[in-house]
Structure 1
Amino acid sequence: MWIWASRPKPQLSLNTVAGFIFDLGLGRNEKRTRTAGAPARKARIQAYNITAFLGSLICPLQGNFDQEESVKITIVQFDHEVVAGTYARWLQEEQVDSEVLTPDSCAPLSPCDADALLLLGGHMGVAQKQDHPLLQRCHAALPQIVAQGTPMLAICLGAQLLADALGGRALSKQRGERGATPIHLTAGGQRDPLFAKIDSPFISVQWHNDCFDLPPAATHLAYTETCPGQAFRCNNAYGVQFHPEVDAAIIADWCKRAGVADTEPLAAFQNVKDRYRTASRQLLTNFLRQIARK
């Protein structure tokens, strides 16, 4: 089901005004037209032309409005124990429709199936993809998906898989990090819209033993002192080694599963959780805006 994404608005809603005009017969039947692939997106954008026009008249009085756009995101979950966390909740708050492909899923990955992809992490490595069918199918599909311009945010294992599929290298048991870490943006990262309104350095969470070398055509966006490959971009696809989607409960669970005796990673996170949450939420907001611009 398509769910129409929205954000908090002033009292006078552009949709209310536009809806009144549609009710008079100027396009009601087009407003929620759903067709397959590119025609659906074209129909939705055409249906909101009237809203954009009204916005140009009203916005000087009320401030800036974000253009509304229906968004459907496919979340690819490679590991039953590594979930979308706060990002799943925030997508619900934004009324963004999503579906989850779990490790047991046999559904094909196709650029036409969703407006965007969110690839999660996992305990396995890219070198083990033959033992994990979803990982292997995703690796095979990624070059075409990226070439067709589908927006993507790939996290940790997802970023390693993306880099490897595009001609970089996933490296086993190298440059590992754990816990809250400052992430530095490159000059390219400071200009990239994914990191708009995010200061450098910002705080994120690391939980990886493996890493990646950048694909040949990638733009390097972020680094840490230990692991240079923290973020990159190829076309509309982003790979990030860090985890912007976790919370204290997830970190505590990971510590338990990894047999981490001390509570230092969790304690360190608690000290910076507000800064982490702010940067992580802004990154997701920026990614959703990238989808809307596509």
Structure 2
Amino acid sequence: MRWVTYRSTDGTERAGLLEDGRVHGLDATLLTLISSAGGLAAAAERALAEPVEVVDLAAVRLAAPIPRPPSVRDFLSFEEHLRNAVRALGRSEPPSVWFEQPVFYFSNPAAIYGPDEEIPISPGCEAFDYEVEVAAVVGRAGSDLTPTEAEAHIAGYTIFCDWSARDVQARESTIGLGPAKGKDGATSIGPVLVTPDELEPYRDGKGYRLAMRASVKGRDLGGGSWADIHWSFGQMLAYASRGTRLLPGDVIGSGTVGTGCLLELSGLHGSERYPWLRPGDVVTIEVERLGAITGRIVAGPAVVPLA
């Protein structure tokens, strides 16, 4: 199944089942449907039998599948990205803890953008970057899950891009608390939520045999394969649930696929060949079977003085 969140002609935010290029809308949000009895399977039957409306996909504007998630965690699960980023930051070897357990940071659920929106550059940033990722959306609440149990708690997958202020991130991370304002400004999610059964034929190792790529102003800048992931989503969700409670609608990012960002391609100081993003740039991130999202980069607000 493929689900979208869209705004109806009357302005109502609705969930819709996508079938053959048409959206079968329901008078509910996708988060409500995920949490309801029978989950998305029961909702799909209702959407086909008794839709509130049926509209062409081309006639609606999509929002993020979960526009206001309860929480957003972004992991770092691709080894090639880790090694490239470590080199770009002038370090020698990745931390050993990464090979012992998944690692993540909490992102900002109030800064979620849809799959085709203007993305403002973070205040004070001169090194703005994209990241090519996928994300799982939690479908059922759970605590202290095993990886196998956690897999069954995934409602679906979508494309994820945490827009990154690399210079801000590098400065603030020296304190040892991880990214904050460097990752706080915008996260794009969409265009659809694809249920796990649709991806099962492509399963390969801990991921799926699906290409993940980015382009800027139409220029292909590369990427990799979801199959290269080191930590599975089952392992990520299990770790995230340790000693706490995952909730329906929680978003779990994979981290960047190898060569899936400008930091990897050019290093922290940038380059003429791979310049940092500037107003007017159009970034497209594509993942096989999940579609594509687009961010149109615009100037952001000025820095507000703290004193």
TM-score, normalised with respect to structure 1: 0.31
TM-score, normalised with respect to structure 2: 0.30
> Greater relative contact order (Cα 8 A, min sep 6): structure 1 or 2?
2
Bigger helix share: 1
Bigger strand share: 2
Q: Which has the larger radius of gyration?
A: 1
